[in-house]
């Protein structure tokens, strides 16, 4: 069954690349979610990615308590070859056209392969775009806020496991040193954590060296003997196989789509490994963007809302423990409750008391 409200697939007029926009749900409000410009073996894999990621955005907003819906856009690049600048701009303009046609049902933002500057380009076509550079009136790069949100989630996990939110001396393994992963690793190093780090790009070793971190291969980092593993790279690192090999007490990080299949959450639970759902731990970026750009929150208010991810994770973990559930079940039940509590936009408006009764 298609769970999504609307899925648009275009062949880009300029780039001839497949442009996919998936609107999973607008039950809580207009949909938002990033634009991914990424390589796929087949464009249908890009479609699958957009479907999964947009559903995760619905849950992300619901659990974060924000009145937005879930969406995601993907421009599916071929497996091999890089776009030159002109073709890349064409691809972004093609994505902007598809977003503009949705007329506010969906607003985009940065994601894997796109930046705040790219949002400026999209903003030339449609106003339905978050995270344009601050000089243009947007909220800018979302990655520092995503990193702060993941740090908040890590504190909640540390409090649960060790009775303190302090990460000083804690052994953490960060898998992926991209925009968010590198920021988060810096924050963790500043907190005094003992870091093991990795990236598929060997040049990132420099960042590890700078932070005094131990560098290992991606596989070794994921299965390192540490307190907490922090997924901060592309999705699906948690498979049945890797779940069996993990040696940490918890997995929590800012990567989207960490589970290869949903049952891996149960396997982790059976092994006594605490897994915080990715859509809870990765919400810092959208929380900041949506709070400041849609709800006119000040920078301080937005920061406080990102920090509140610590309480949200704490509540999810408490509820899970109280009801004998996994954190994945507790978070998805919370999301479902919030979605069901939303008024049905298709229902006729109910007369407010006192109106028309005189």
Q: How far is the CB of 58 from ligand PPY (least distance, A)?
A: 11
- Answer yes or no: 60 catalytic: no
Single out the residue of 130, 153, 291, 312 in contact with ligand PPY (rule: CB under 6 A): 130
Q: Which of 129, 103, 112 is nearest to 256 (CA)?
A: 112
Single out the residue of 32, 150, 153, 297 in contact with ligand PPY (rule: CB under 6 A): 32
Q: Where are the alpha helices (DSSP H) in the chain?
A: 43-64, 85-101, 116-122, 143-162, 179-190, 205-210, 218-222, 240-245, 264-270, 278-281, 284-293, 299-307, 309-322, 327-341
Cα dihedral 136/139/142/145 (nearest 10):
150
CA distances for 63 relative to 47, 60, 227, 350, angstroms? 25, 5, 26, 27
Q: How far is the CB of 110 from ligand PPY (least distance, A)?
A: 6
Among all chains, which residue has been given the structure tokens 């957009």?
50
- Interacting span for ligand PPY (CB under 6 A) from 2-10, 77-85, 107-115, 344-352: 107-115
Q: Where are the alpha helices (DSSP H) in 175-283?
A: 179-190, 205-210, 218-222, 240-245, 264-270, 278-281
Q: Cα separation of 338 and 245, whole Å? A: 35
Rounded (to 5) percent helix, strand, coil in the chain: 45, 15, 40
Single out the residue of 20, 131, 222, 233 in contact with ligand PPY (rule: CB under 6 A): 131
Phi, psi of 277 (to 5 degrees): -50, 135
Single out the residue of 30, 33, 123, 314 in contact with ligand PPY (rule: CB under 6 A): 33
Number of residues that bind ligand PPY (CB under 6 A): 15
> Which residues, at least 6 apart from 263, have a Cβ–Cβ distance to it below 8 Å?
240
Q: Which of 99, 144, 101 is nearest to 119 (CA)?
A: 99
- Binders of ligand PPY among residues 132 to 171 (CB under 6 A) are 142
- Binders of ligand PPY among residues 231 to 290 (CB under 6 A) are 256, 282, 285-286, 289
Q: Which of 49, 89, 93 is nearest to 73 (CA)?
A: 49
Residue-by-residue DSSP string for 134-161: GGGTS----HHHHHHHHHHHHHHHHHHH
Q: How far is the CB of 295 from ligand PPY (least distance, A)?
A: 13
- Smaller CB distance to ligand PPY: residue 142 or 158? 142
Single out the residue of 12, 69, 109, 314 in contact with ligand PPY (rule: CB under 6 A): 109
Q: How far is the CB of 186 from ligand PPY (least distance, A)?
A: 20
- Smaller CB distance to ligand PPY: residue 253 or 285? 285
State how beta strands 6-11 and 18-25 pair. Answer: antiparallel
Q: How far is the CB of 293 from ligand PPY (least distance, A)?
A: 8
Single out the residue of 12, 30, 34, 181 in contact with ligand PPY (rule: CB under 6 A): 34
Nearest-CB residue to ligand PPY?
109
Q: Which residue in 4, 60, 72, 338 is the catalytic one?
A: 72
- Smaller CB distance to ligand PPY: residue 278 or 310? 278
Q: How far is the CB of 54 from ligand PPY (least distance, A)?
A: 9
- Interacting span for ligand PPY (CB under 6 A) from 31-39, 165-173, 216-224, 260-268: 31-39
DSSP secondary structure letter of residue 227: S
CA distances for 23 relative to 35, 193, 333, angstroms? 12, 39, 21
Lay out the site mask for ligand PPY across 56-95 (x = CB under 6 A, - = otherwise): -x--------------------------------------
- Smaller CB distance to ligand PPY: residue 14 or 133? 133
Which residues have a catalytic role annotated?
72
Contact residues toward ligand PPY (CB under 6 A) are: 32-34, 57, 109-111, 130-131, 142, 256, 282, 285-286, 289
């Amino acid at each position: 069954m298609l769970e999504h409200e609307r899925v648009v697939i275009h062949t880009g007029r300029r780039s001839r690349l497949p442009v996919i926009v998936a609107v999973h749900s607008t039950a809580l409000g207009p949909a938002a979610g990033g634009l991914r410009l990424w390589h796929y073996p087949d464009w249908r894999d890009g479609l699958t990615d957009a479907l999964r990621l947009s559903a995760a955005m619905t849950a992300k907003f619901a659990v974060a308590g924000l009145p937005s819906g879930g969406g995601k856009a993907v421009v599916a690049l071929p497996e091999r070859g890089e776009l030159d600048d002109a073709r890349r701009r064409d691809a972004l303009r093609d994505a902007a056209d598809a977003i503009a046609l949705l007329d506010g049902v969906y607003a985009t933002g940065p994601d894997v392969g796109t930046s705040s500057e790219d949002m400026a380009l999209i903003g030339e076509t449609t106003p339905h775009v978050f995270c344009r550079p601050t000089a243009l009136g947007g909220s800018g790069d979302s990655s520092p806020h995503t990193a702060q949100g993941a740090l908040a989630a890590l504190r909640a996990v540390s409090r649960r496991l060790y009775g303190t939110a302090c990460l000083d001396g804690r052994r953490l393994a960060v898998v992926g040193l991209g925009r968010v992963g590198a920021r988060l690793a810096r924050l963790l190093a500043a907190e005094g954590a003992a870091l093991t780090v990795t990236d598929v790009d060997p040049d990132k070793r420099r960042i590890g060296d700078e932070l005094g971190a131990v560098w290992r291969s991606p596989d070794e980092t994921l299965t390192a003997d540490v307190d907490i593993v922090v997924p901060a790279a592309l999705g699906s690192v948690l498979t049945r196989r890797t779940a069996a090999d993990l040696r940490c007490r918890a997995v929590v990080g800012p990567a989207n789509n960490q589970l290869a299949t949903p049952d891996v959450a149960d396997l982790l639970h059976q092994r006594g490994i605490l897994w915080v759902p990715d859509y809870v731990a990765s919400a810092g970026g959208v929380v900041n963007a949506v709070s400041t750009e849609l709800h006119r929150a000040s920078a301080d208010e937005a920061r406080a809302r990102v920090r509140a991810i610590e309480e949200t994770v704490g509540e999810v973990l408490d509820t899970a423990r109280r009801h004998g559930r996994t954190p994945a079940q507790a978070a998805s039940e919370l999301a479902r409750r919030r979605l069901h509590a939303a008024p049905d936009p298709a229902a006729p408006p109910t007369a407010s008391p006192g109106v028309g009764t005189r």
